[in-house]
Amino acid sequence: MLLDESTPPAYQHVFADIAEKRSDAMIVHARGELLRHRQLIVELAEKSRLPAIYPYQEYVEAGGLMAYAVDFREFGRRLADDVHEILGGANPGDIPIYLPTKYEFVINLKAANAIGLTIPPALLARADEVIE
């Protein structure tokens, strides 16, 4: 579902549409403007009893079900290496573009229980972090 604008009423409208269509689950996009409304998005997903996977761990920390996201610590280290090379005289155009290679999978069991979802043990075993 696309948002016309990033406001609480727009999110409520989208979740009403999702409920009407009886969606089984949702994937939240990584658009930055959504992150500042993460608490509302997480609350609406829980109220709708809708399993959701999020693009950033901050959603899970706010009570969301799960996230599969770039490891920003690794990304920051790589960025710092690039800055170091540039400050050392390297031409920015000669530095290869970095694509993330490490992702983190985080599961929030409290959120799973809140929507009546049982996470399979095999999935829990694959998680980098489980919030209880």
Residue 3 has pLDDT above 80, yes or no: no
pLDDT at residue 64, rounded to an integer? 97
Confidence of residue 31 (pLDDT cuts 50, 70, 90): confident
- CA dist 14 and 30 (Å) reads 17
Each residue's pLDDT tens digit, 79-110? 899 999 999 999 999 999 888 888 999 999 99
Structure tokens at 122: 């095999």
Backbone angles phi, psi at 43, to 5 degrees: -65, -40
Alpha helices in the chain (DSSP H): 8-21, 32-35, 38-47, 57-61, 72-87, 109-114, 121-126
What per-residue string of b and e applies to 45-81 under the rule 16 or more CB within 10 Å gives b? bbebebbbbbbbbebbebbbbbbbbbeeeeeeeeeee
- 6 or 104, greater pLDDT: 104
- CA dist 132 and 130 (Å) reads 6
Average per-residue pLDDT for the chain: 92
